[in-house]
Structures are given as C-alpha cells and as structure tokens.
Structure 1
C-alpha cells in the first residue's frame, strides 16, 4: 500500500523548494518540482516555475488538469491569472501558458498533455 503525500504548508514548501535546487528542466524557461508522476504519462502533481517571459508551447489537454497559481502571474489565450487563481482545463482544451513576471503554479492532472507545436 502506498503512503499518502502530506504537505502541511504548501506555500512554505514552495519557498523551501525554490532554494533547495531540486527542480528539473521542463520547457525553456520553465522548471518542474514533481510531487508524483506516472512514468507512462498518467496522473501527476507538479510545481512549475516560470522565469519572466517564459511560455509553454501550444498543447491540448487529454484529461483534466487543475492549476493553482501560487506566486506571480500567468496568462494564456483565454485570460490573465494573478496569484490565487484556480483554473480547471477539461479534456480537449488547448492553450499556450506563459508568465510576464514569472510565477509558480501547482498543476494536478490525470494525463500528460499532447503538444500541438514545440
């Protein structure tokens, strides 16, 4: 039986993770701090840190994705999302998220996205 992941103070965890250096490259200008992930593209939970001006290529969601902007700002073709914004991307939605000033967002998804363009 697997153990539960418990993070008693998510914002403090984000602050500590940013100085701990356990982030890995995700896309140009975007790094990832994984809580868990299925190696076959299944469920995952990750913190994504966008450097100022970074943008992720257009992609389609093949399962639900829940995103919470924890710090900074994020935007896409559908709007602008300041810190505290919670967005649910259902299956079939497409976007190319970016950040003008930089941000950290928590993403929890059931399936990895399909990139439409790189």
Structure 2
C-alpha cells in the first residue's frame, strides 16, 4: 500500500514549498498524482501556477475537469473565478483560460484535455 500524498496547509500557501516545472508558456505545474503507465483514462491531480497574463488556449474536456482557485484569479469566457472558487467543467465542454494577474489552482483532469487551436 502506498503512503498518501499529504500537503499541509494547502489553502494557506502550503503549495509554495512544492516543486514546479514548466508546463505551457507562462504556466508551471506540480504533479500531485498521475498515471505513469501511459493510460489515457486515468485521473491526474496537479497544481498549476500561472504568471500574470498567462493563457491556456481553447481546449476540449474529454472528461470532467475540477478546479479550485487557491490564489489570485483565473478566468474564461464564462467569468472570473477568485481564490476559494471551485469550477467544474463537464466532459464535452470547451474554453480558453487566462490569469490577468496570475493565479494558482488545484486541478483534476478525469482524462486529458485536447488543445483545439494548435498552440
């Protein structure tokens, strides 16, 4: 049996002590749980840290995506989501994401997203 992943004080900045790596232009990722066997139907949990002005191009959700904004604000065509907001993007939904002032989110993908605009 594996030990659980424990992140003390996550809501009060405990994520700042975790290792991040480049993910997309202006966005860094800290992988918390992911399948390393190559399976495409396995959930993935991560923290994403957006630099001010960072964007993720339009993408399609091939499974449920759950986001909890921990710091700053993340936005899309449907609104701006401040710290403490949870957003559920259903399978089949699509959007582009931006962080005007930067943000950190806890994100879970049920299945990988499909980038739509070629970026």
Asked if Structure 1 and Structure 2 have the same fold, meaning a TM-score greater than 0.5 normalized by the shorter chain, the answer is yes
5+ residue gaps, structure 2: none
Q: How does 1:44-83 map to 2 (within 5 A)?
A: 44-83=44-83
Partners of 1:114 and 1:15 lie apart in 2 by 28
Partners of 1:15 and 1:23 lie apart in 2 by 9
5+ residue gaps, structure 1: none
Query: What is the root-mean-square deviation of aligned Cα atoms in Å?
Result: 1.3
Cα offset, 1:43, TM superposition: 1.0
- Equivalent pair of 2:7/2:15 in contact (CA under 8 Å): no
| Greater strand fraction, Structure 1 or Structure 2 | 2
Normalization by structure 1: what TM-score? 0.89
- Equivalent pair of 2:60/2:115 in contact (CA under 8 Å): yes
Normalization by structure 2: what TM-score? 0.89
Structure 2 residue aligned with 1:35, among 32, 35, 44? Answer: 32
